[in-house]
Amino acid sequence: MANVLDLRRRIRSVKNTRQITKAMKMVSAAKLRRAQERALAARPYARMITSVLQSLKRRVDIFDEKTGNLAHPLFLTRPEKRILLIVVSGDKGFAGAFNSNIAKIAFQFIAGNGDKQIDIEAVGKKSRDAFRRRYAEAVYTEKADEHGTVRNIRDPRKSEVELTGDHPGMLLNLQARRVEELAESIISRYVHEEIDAAYIVYNEFKSVISQRLVVEKILPLIEVGKQQITGAVEPTEAEKERTAEAALSAGIQLEAADSTEEEAKKFGTAQVDYLYEQKPEELYAGLLPKYIFSMLYHAMTESVAAEHAARMTAMDSASNNASDMIDSLTLVMNRVRQAKITTEIIEIVSGAAAL
């Protein structure tokens, strides 16, 4: 049996670990609060873009006469042969199953579309690492085109699944500008028919108790303002409870307050005839890329919030486990000490009796 001194040392070390996990939990809680605020601050913009597009669509004649579809390249549907998959994961670990769950869904998606060519765009270091181990990276070489401008031309693909880009650190300091660049690159690939569809895998985070992992189709657009969710994984009740518990102990509200929504819905939807500075078609074409951008930005802000929530929960569990361990170790230590005292008393008593 271990002696008292060893047990005391172990207890001290577990206590230290608990202190670290507790601190990490509080840090995550603070970051979660900020991420939630940012996700909320991004909502009016997204909402307004959606409303103005919906209202423009109603009043402007921008339909293709032949097909009846909206006359914009982003609405064109082609048979899906080449798919772009954007995977939004975290940049850091210590967040429980957060990153591995995302990777799992992404791999399932790839396996489910085995007959198609898939390009992967990895946002966040963790998913990039996971994909790099499995798939080849796309190779680009610089070539001059007929006008003499140098362009990056993609080499013939070596495998069906390739990594076309990664964006480590994008989420650590989320800037609208960088997300916009990504959106522009995706749109240009779609318009130039390099891809036939684009999907995004991310953690949707409406509030602490309402979150899920979703696969959302972002291109082609079918209807503005309607999420095209093609797959979703809801957390189990037990997981939800754990998150709620962790949030409560860290002093985070379960439901985020949201007041701007109503006002934003009205943007551009007044029942009057607008004067248009530009041709409505031009306005429409200018707004659509912004809509794609706002979808991406939305996915990323929510994913950041979800990551912090996951880390907070994981660290809360770790702290609880450490407390349990300290309790059981203390119990063992006390028993050992008592046993030692008892032995000593017996020795003294029997020694005295022998006299």
CB of 286 to other proteins, least distance (A): 5
Q: How far is the CB of 277 from other proteins (least distance, A)?
A: 3
DSSP state of 63: B
Q: How far is CA 95 from CA 19, 47, 317, in A?
A: 17, 30, 11
Pick the stretch among 95-103, 145-153, 198-206, 311-319 that binds other proteins (CB under 8 A).
145-153
Distance, CA of 98 to CA of 130 (rounded, Å) = 13
Which of 238, 270, 352, 354 forms a contact with other proteins (CB under 8 A)?
270
Residue from 215, 279, 248, 182 nearest 32 by CA: 248
Are 107 and 73 within 8 A, CB to CB? no
Question: Does residue number 297 form part of the binding site for other proteins (CB under 8 A)?
Answer: yes
**Amino acid code (one letter) for 285:** A
Would you count residue 63 as binding other proteins (CB under 8 A)? no
Among 276, 330, 343, 347, binds other proteins (CB under 8 A): 276
Asked whether position 139 contacts other proteins by CB under 8 A, the answer is no
CB 307 within 8 A of CB 34: no
- Residue 347, classed as helix, strand or coil, is helix
The C-alpha atoms of residue 307 and residue 41 are separated, in whole angstroms, by: 18
- For position 148 contacting other proteins by CB under 8 A, the verdict is yes
**Residue of the chain from 5, 111, 238, 275 that contacts other proteins (CB under 8 A):** 275
Quick one: which of 61, 237, 262, 277 contacts other proteins (CB under 8 A)?
277
Size of the site for other proteins (CB under 8 A): 35
Please answer whether residues 56 and 268 qualify as being in contact, where contact means their C-beta atoms are separated by less than 8 angstroms: yes
Residues near other proteins (CB under 8 A): 38, 41-42, 44-46, 48-49, 52, 56, 147-149, 176-177, 180, 260, 267-268, 270, 272-278, 282-283, 286-287, 290, 293-294, 297
